[in-house]
Structure 1
Amino acid sequence: MPVYEYNALDQRGKNLKGIIEADSESQARAKLRAAGNYPISLKESKVKAEGASPSWFSASMFNRITPEEVYVITRQLSTLHGAGIPLDAALSSLVEQTRNTALKKVLAQIKGKVSEGKTLAQSMGEHPKLFPHLYINMIRAGEESGSLNVVLEQLADFSEKQQELKGRLRAAMYYPVFMAIIGTAILFILITYIVPNITQVFKDMEQTLPLPTLFLIGTSSFLKNYWWVLLGVGLAVVILLRMFVRTVRGRSVWDFIKLRMPVFGPVAQKIILARFASTLASMNRSGVEFMVAMRIVRTLVDNVRIAEVVDSAMEHVQRGQSMTVALAASPWFPPMFVQMIAVGEQSGSLEVMLSKIADAYERDVEASVKGMTSLLEPLMITVMGLAVGFIVISILLPIFEMNQMIH
């Protein structure tokens, strides 16, 4: 559906500029008049509304809308609306400033719907792949309570914290992953190309070789001739595991393993609990009904075992009981977490306690990741050193034996 840029006067004679979505210019004028505005000028915008359902991608994969861009427009909308700029004018400003074509189209659609009289929550709700339930419900609560600018600021703060946490986790893992890839590549080149050339000399001499050297030659020969078998088996295992994880039973088993994994398990658990607490705190602060907030938080928990506990907590709340009863019975919610929520419920300051829990766990996650990476780096160096040392010793042993035979 086309998008039109308009210049109009409202019932008080105030000049209005914006964007409206309509099938034709006459329909756009009719929509403006129906809203009580008198159109002065109207022209079709270069930004076309998408006829298809909203998507994370435009025609080009390079126009993908990232979570970082959603955070930026949320912050900008919060700033503009908080400064007293009307919502439709603020949205028009975002459309003009946005460079990403796909995001520009979505914003133009939202602006058109708002100009037609729909709420911001309803307009954004037509783009569920871009704006999740959490986002929509917080905005709806802000519109209903008349505190949209406050809610937008809270959403921007929440998104910023989530992006910062993801960024720190990625940055912490870059170096270990890079080291692992480089180390594996070096070992593969050594074993498949360099070692065969050296060991061929020993074979030509028909010398009885030590066991480590025979093992190295056998490994080198196998990798060089049958690397495709290892690759095929590896791919088959990955595909079968993915198929298993997609089943209900498989997902439950895999999520249990993730939580029980040494070193990585506690970090994964803390990340989920931090997200649980921060999301529930943000929605509670915005005025979203508690059970609605719990249902939304439940959809954000990406671990089946912890999601089952949240389901149980919701059942307890519906029966008029404290959700801490269900949380305390679970091994996945630590006593400190449960106790702080209990104190928050009893004192009527649940939102404050949830925020404190989220901050504490986010700091704990960052410290744990730093500790994990500081442990991984020397561990990988040690493994690399042992592997290279074994190769060197396996090559030198026959040479030493030849020297002894000569002397």
Structure 2
Amino acid sequence: MVLFGYRGIDGRGATVKGMREAESSRELKALLKKESIFVTELWEVGKESPKKSGFSLNKNISFSSSGRITSGDITAVTRQLATLTGAGIPLIEALSAVIDQADKESVKVLFTSIRTKVNEGESFSSALSGYPKHFSDIYINMVNAGEQSGTLELVLERLADFMENQARVRGKVISAIAYPALMSVIGVLILGVMMIVVVPKVSAIFSDFGATLPLATRFLIFTSKIISGYWWLLLPLFAGAVAGFVFWKRSSSGKSLWHKIVLKIPIMGNLILMLAMGRFATTLATLLSSGVQVLRALEITKHILGNIHLERVIDEAIVGVREGEPLHESLQKSGMFPPLVTRMIAIGEKSGQLEGMLSNVAKFYDSRSEARISVLTSLLEPVLILVMGAGAGFVAFSILWPILKINQLFG
């Protein structure tokens, strides 16, 4: 038997510590778990330093041994909390239930810490604000508004709906570009192998005949020599160009110019604007319906637009609304927000149904962007196949054409 020291949190959220004998640390954890004690630190008595169990309840949590917390984990927990609090279960008990049901140790640690803070008298939103890595401003402000209005269960349900919708849209965008990206990589690799391995061998055969080769074949051989002979220089140059582009895009002037260019790209610019409008309307509607004030809601919403020029429009709108100007007029002045958005906001402001109008705008742009993504994906696949076929066809033609000419000469 080995004597272990431990620290942990009991079922009421209180910190406990002590010493216990057990055959192994795993056995001791199992025994303490039966007593509703969640171990946060465990070590053999007599060792120079404690053997920590791989996580800590400090503000900066380490998840190295217990799994990274994803947005999907937070969404699932939010949905569970919404269901439990909606059924009339107190928040502390709901948090305890979520902790017991969590599969990841890192999720258990995070929400155990939050439960401890709530037990000590902090508000739920204040406890969440200690972990900005996992809870966004949108999340914290909506929870705060729900606590103040006494509608926390409704706010949590809206939050879960909002996060699930955002994940669904993000998933569709990723899945739309995944296949074309994979096809592009495969095509480049195939062409690279042909240029480095196949073309040099064929060019050696041509050089033995000493015949004048077609222009396409000479260009292919020249390109092959450049790639195979100077790949050690081309790779760093390419990596440097990519790094330089990323650095430029992150600079203030580069970011401003790039975001302006992106919105003007044919077809893609319109899609990017539609996605931004969908996020804007969804987020603002969710915040306002949860009781967050208009100015604070706009301040939060601008950060999810993903375009610096659209963010500046929101900054100007905040100034206008603060001075008493209607929101739709402030947005309309910029000329960047589509007329549909400003008209629907104007109707919502006049009728007192701004949240409902914004929800309709969000549904419209989400459906439009999904349809546009589907169309672009269906068009992109045959285009990629044509481009890859054209590249392979050019290589094949450049190799076969002189071979056919040689056969004619010796035929």
CA 1:2–1:264: 2 relative to 1, 3 Å: farther
Aligned partners of 1:87, 1:235: CA distance in 2, in Å?
51
**Aligned counterparts, 1:151-190, within 5 A:** 151-190=155-194
Counterparts of 1:140-159 in structure 2 under 5 Å?
140-159=144-163
How large is the RMSD of aligned CA atoms in angstroms?
2.0
Q: What's the secondary structure of 2:350's corresponding residue?
A: helix
Match of 1:135 in 2: 139
Q: What are structure 2's unaligned runs of at least 5 residues?
A: 1-5, 19-34, 42-54
1:75 aligns with 2:72: no
Letter in 2 for 1:393: F
After superposition, give the CA deviation of every residue in 1:123-180 in whole Å (9 maximum; x if it has no partner).
1111111111110111111111111111111111111111111111112222111111
Report what 2:60 is aligned to.
54
Indicate the residue corresponding to 2:310 in structure 1. 306
* Pairs within 5 Å for 1:144-293: 144-293=148-297
User: Alpha-carbon deviation of 1:53?
Assistant: 2.9
Counterpart of 2:350?
A: 346
Aligned residue pairs, count: 378
Which letter maps to 1:53? K
1:181-225 CA-to-partner distances (Å, cap 9, x unmatched) read 111111111111112212211112222111111111111111111
**Which string of whole-angstrom CA distances, capped at 9 and with x for unpartnered residues, describes residues 330-354 of structure 1?**
2321111111111111111100000
1:19 has 2:13 as partner: yes
Deviations 1:99-146 (A, max 9, x none): 222221110000101111211111111111111111011111111111
Contact map agreement 2:271 2:372 (CA 8 A) in 1? yes
Equivalent position SS for 1:46: strand
Using the alignment, how far apart are the partners of 1:301 and 1:389 within structure 2? Answer: 43
Q: Secondary structure at the match of 1:19?
A: coil
Q: How do 1:376-387 residues align onto structure 2 when only pairs under 5 Å count?
A: 376-387=380-391
**Counterpart amino acid of 1:384?**
M
TM-score by length of 2: 0.88
Q: Per-residue deviation at 1:278?
A: 0.3
Alignment-mate amino acid for residue 10 of structure 2: E
Structure with greater contact order relative to length (CA < 8 Å, sep ≥ 6) = 1
1:46-93: CA deviations, max 9, x gaps?
1467354335x5124x71111111100000011111111111111011
What does residue 317 of structure 1 align with?
321
Structure 1: unaligned runs, 5 residues or longer: 7-17, 26-41
Partner of 2:69: 65
Contact 1:280-1:354 at 8 Å conserved across structures: yes
Q: Contact between 1:2 and 1:44, CA under 8 Å: does it hold in 2?
A: no
Q: Secondary structure at 1:308's aligned position in 2?
A: helix
Which AA in structure 1 matches 2:9? Y
Which residue of 374, 395, 399 corresponds with 2:399?
Answer: 395
1:4 paired residue number:
9
Q: Hey, what does 2:25 align to over in structure 1?
A: none
CA shift, 1:256, in A, is: 1.0
Q: Which amino acid aligns with 1:19?
A: G
What CA distance in whole angstroms lies between the structure 1 residues aligned with 2:156 and 2:282?
A: 16
Report the CA distance shift for 1:325/1:145 in structure 2 as closer, same or farther (over 3 A): same
Counterpart of 2:59, as a letter, is S
Residue 14 of structure 2: SS of its match in structure 1? strand
Structure-1-length-normalised TM-score: 0.88
Query: Which of 126, 131, 134 is the equivalent residue of 2:130?
Result: 126
Are residues 316 and 253 of structure 1, via their aligned partners in 2, closer, same or farther at CA, if it must alter by over 3 Å? same
Distance 1:5 1:310 in 2: 47
What is the aligned partner in structure 2 of residue 45 from structure 1?
Answer: 38
Runs of 4 or more, structure 1, over 4 Å off, are none
Q: Distance in 1 between matches of 2:294 and 2:174?
A: 32
SS at match of 2:394: helix
Contact 1:20 1:116 (8 Å CA) reproduced: no
Aligned residues of 2:275 and 2:365 also touching (Cα < 8 A): yes
Aligned residues: percent identity?
38
Give, in whole Å, the separation in 2 of the partners of 1:3 and 1:261. 56
Residue 20 of structure 1 aligns with an amino acid whose one-letter code is: A
Asked whether the 8 Å contact 2:40–2:56 carries over to 1, the reply is no
Distance change >3 Å, CA 95–CA 51, structure 1 → 2? closer
CA distance in 1, matches of 2:126, 2:277: 30
Give the distance between the partners of 1:158 and 1:390, measured in 2 at CA: 49
SS in 2 for 1:355: helix
Please state whether the residue corresponding to 1:397 is helix, strand or coil.
Answer: helix
Rounded to whole Å, the distance in 2 between the matches of 1:126 and 1:3 is: 20
Contact 2:57 2:109 in 1 (8 A): no
Q: Does the CA-based 8 Å contact 1:245-1:254 persist in structure 2? A: yes
Instruction: After superposition, give the CA deviation of every residue in 1:269-314 in whole Å (9 maximum; x if it has no partner).
Output: 1111111110000011111111111111122232101000000111
CA contact (8 A) 1:71 1:160 kept: yes
Q: Is the 8 A contact 1:3 1:45 kept in 2?
A: yes
Counterpart of 1:344, as a letter, is G
Alpha-carbon separation, structure 2, partners of 1:322 and 1:166: 32
**Closer/same/farther in 2, CA of residues 64 and 277 from structure 1, 3 Å limit:** same
1:328 and 1:338 in contact (8 A); partners too? yes
The 2-side partners of 1:171 and 1:185 are apart by 22
Cα distance in 2 for partners of 1:250, 1:374 equals: 32
